[in-house]
Amino acid sequence: MRALILPGMDGSGRLLREFVDALAPEVHADVVSYPRADALGYDGLVALVLERLPRGETFALIGESFSGPIAIRVAASRPAGLAALVLCATFASSPQPWFRPLRPLLAMPFPMPPTAWMMPAMMGRWATPGWTHRERLALRELPARVARQRLSEVLRVDATADLARIDCPILYLQASHDRLVPPRCWHEIQRIVPTSRRVRLEGPHFILQHQAGAAAAAIADFLANVDIRA
């Protein structure tokens, strides 16, 4: 089956190469890269993804972290050929809503904190020097204003109404030690779409990177049982 992957906050897909390789040959996956210079909100990114959907073939949509609400909104439009939705360490509504009053601060021209500071707090024991270096490379070309815009979008997003309109099977990959997306985000999705299936993998928020093989196997197994005529 064909799959279209929507990447996390960095928007480049650079951190997804091992995961894409692990999906093959059962799943042929392409990654949508978001414009680095444009501070597009969720509305603009949804429009961009809709233009890049596969045409004339069956496909699955995979949304990682920041891109979960984008994947949900695209799936809710019920595009031709969409057979399944996979949500990875992500959310339908803001995972940290209590930080919403701080959104105005993200409009100010502050630089983003150094990756070496963020990773230990975000990753726990998985914050190795090698991973921190990879994350730094992925983020170094992302302008701070674009990163702040994406964070602002996360704080205010609510795609739960869109989630309720989805008519294809849903798989949720949950990281066991996710410090960014709490378990309630899965429970909210399950409440709205009770038929959603969950696979829980050992690891941090960046589960597609740290458990590329296991995540790919779970997705391939899920897609193998999807009725592609749906």
- The confidence score (pLDDT) of residue 146 equals 86
How many angstroms separate the CA atoms of 187 and 181, rounded?
11
Residue 110 has pLDDT above 80, yes or no: no
Residue 193, C-beta contacts closer than 8 angstroms, at least 6 positions apart: 163, 164, 166, 170
Q: What average pLDDT score do residues 128-152 get?
A: 75
Interstrand relation of 59-64 and 2-6 (parallel, antiparallel or unpaired): parallel
pLDDT band at 133 (very low <50, low <70, confident <90, very high): low
- The confidence score (pLDDT) of residue 230 equals 41
- The confidence score (pLDDT) of residue 77 equals 97
Q: Is residue 92 a contact partner of residue 158, using CB atoms and an 8 Å limit? A: yes
Judged on CB neighbours under 10 Å (0-12, 13-18, 19+), 160 is middle
Q: Mean pLDDT, the chain, as a whole number? A: 88
Eight-class DSSP state of 180: S
Q: Is residue 71 a contact partner of residue 63, using CB atoms and an 8 Å limit? A: yes
Report which of residues 20 and 124 the model is more confident about. 20
